[in-house]
Chain A
Amino acid sequence: MNAPKATVLDNLDEVRSMIRRHRLNDYIFSIIGLLCMMIGVLTLLFLFVNLVIDGYPRFTSEFFTSFPSRRAEEAGILSAWVGTMLVMLVTVVTAVPLGVSAGIYLEEYAPKNWLSNMIEVNVTNLAGVPSIVYGLLALGLFVYMLDFGQSILSAGLTLALLILPVVIVATREAIRSIPVSIREAAYAVGATKWQVVSDHILRYSFGGILTGVIIGMARAIGETAPVITIGALTFIAFLPPTPLQEAPPYFNFDWLFSSFTVLPIQMFNWLSRPNPDFHANAAAAGVVIIVATLLMNGLAIWLRYRIRRHIQW
């Protein structure tokens, strides 16, 4: 850069060897990066394959349709997966309306001042609170104070609290990705804030919100600590009362107050037994949880792709 005489043409060889050196750095880093990535991915893959091999003898239809048992070969995860489904149902029904509404409020309605900034920082921090702390909170609040007992309702509400920050953050990010110009276009034709939110914001951010909800659920489905804290049982040889009945009003909510177990707890229970036969059951239950999580994440990616394909800014 000091004098015009030093053009590339004049010292072509020097420039070429410099470029070679720089290229080498490129190459070296790509190798290091690949190794780092492989360590993570391969470890997970190894664990998963290991689980599949260990649990392989239990992959029968009876495994999904049997209650736990004292004999490892006869023990199944029926009560656990039904419990997981019902707990997740309570979680979704609670966390989605609360989280989405809170996200919309923070993004669209809340005045921007120090208070809303504080709330914002705290919501983000809540996502990092250890889940056992939520368990303790829920034990005091839901189980004892509100007297919901050690029930599906308590567990669902606890996990809902746990994923609430995830849903709120996902909602806000989805809303923020809508361009200002679309928002202004809606206001300019005379829409009120609520009309803008319900006719536009919610619809265009639906894909992003859904993705956040599913990812939150994928986290909740594997949570063990808070569910143990509020007292999920480890040996449940019955199903909760069915939500549907033959007599009017055809549905009931007794199941909400039933005791329950969930997949990760069933797995934990089998793992802590001395009899190694049960470890195969634990591995099989682990595979079920991982596959469920993968399916949910896959669904989230697919839905995001499907929905965003039609919306381009």
Chain B
Amino acid sequence: MDGLQLTLNRDMTTMQAHHHAIKAEARDLSFYYNGGHMALKNITLPVYDKRITALIGPSGCGKSTFLRCFNRMHDLYPGNRYEGRIVMHPDNTNILEPTVDPIEVRMRISMVFQKPNPFPKSIYENVAYGLRVRGERNKRTIDNKVEEALRDAAIWDEVKDRLNEVAFNLSGGQQQRLCIARALATDPEIMLFDEPTSALDPIATASIEELMSELKEKVTILIVTHNMQQAARISDFTAYMYLGELIEFDDTDTMFTKPSRKETEDYITGKFG
């Protein structure tokens, strides 16, 4: 525990030195699944603005559980319980507060899932859905937003002539970029990616990775990945989790070259995991 504290403190100073603004931070976050299983234990972690933060760790370490706290996805299932806070900046809203509506949280923080999950609707409607949910009715506004999101998701050229086709006709990689466009169209402050390339082939994976590197100009990204090379390639910061605990958090270069904790090193060098 002392080691963890030290690591975090050192990082806070690094952060100040680099003048990275914090977009959100988890403070003493614990999470209990229905039935009382404690899946996250006192996690404190900063998420830097317009940077990519990667969460790595072996299966079952709680990285997806942690990610899903950020858009209150756990609220969809009864009996789940959060303890601690996730504070958004600059407004200092604790998004885990029961008085904060999860809908409000999801309007600020969007998500891309593990398996591409477009709606069985047209390509256009998939991207427009977030805007419609927000009550946008102006056709011109929606048209523009849809085009912008599809361009940002690097899929516009492939779909611009068939916006009214059903999204299922796209390839897996295209579907995932469509899902990214859907998550982008509503101008989120943070985007959550839950192993976004695990169902994709290497070429589609490369294009999604490239896309994420471009997106961080616009939006803060938090990504869960089981692929350490992916974390090393695209992220600015990396957090290593094990059994529901945050073992180490640092900038990605330091993490992968000279991690300060033995467990991190063991995982990164492939001794287990």
Contacts and interface: CB of A to CB of B under 8 A. Distances in A.
A190 B120 contact: no
Given A189-B182, A200-B119, A310 B166 contact: yes
A112 B78 CA distance: 8
A184 B117 contact: yes
Interface of B: 71, 73, 76, 78, 103, 106-107, 110-111, 113, 115, 117-120, 129-130, 132-134, 166, 168, 179, 182-183, 186
Contact of A189 (B76, B78, B120, B183): B183
A181 interface: yes
B126 to A, nearest CB: 9
B113 A185 contact: yes
Interface stretch (A118-126, A191-199, A238-246): A191-199
Contacts of A112: 78
Main secondary structure of the interface of A (DSSP, over half): helix
Interface string A100-138: 000000000001100000000000000000000000000
A146 to B, nearest CB: 39
A182 B117 contact: yes
Contact of B106 (A187, A311, A312): A187
B73 A199 contact: no
A68 to B, nearest CB: 50
A204 interface: yes
B130 A189 contact: yes
B136 to A, nearest CB: 12
Interface of A: 111-112, 179, 181-192, 195, 199-200, 204, 310-312
A310 B166 CA distance: 8
Contact of A190 (B76, B117, B118, B134): B134
Given A111-B78, A182-B117, A310-B120, A188 B71 contact: yes
A67 B118 CA distance: 56
Contacts, number: 63
B129 A188 contact: no
| Nearest 4 A/B pairs, CB to CB | A189-B130, A181-B117, A190-B107, A190-B106
A184 B179 contact: no
Contacts of A185: 113, 117-119, 179, 182
Contact of B73 (A187, A190, A200, A312): A187
A188 B106 contact: yes
Given A188-B71, A190-B134, A191-B133, A181 B113 contact: yes
Given A190-B133, A190-B186, A200-B119, A184 B103 contact: no
A140 to B, nearest CB: 39
B130 A190 contact: yes
B63 to A, nearest CB: 17
Nearest to A310: B166
Given A112-B78, A184-B73, A189 B117 contact: no
Contacts of A184: 73, 76, 113, 117
A244 B117 CA distance: 48
Contacts of B115: 181
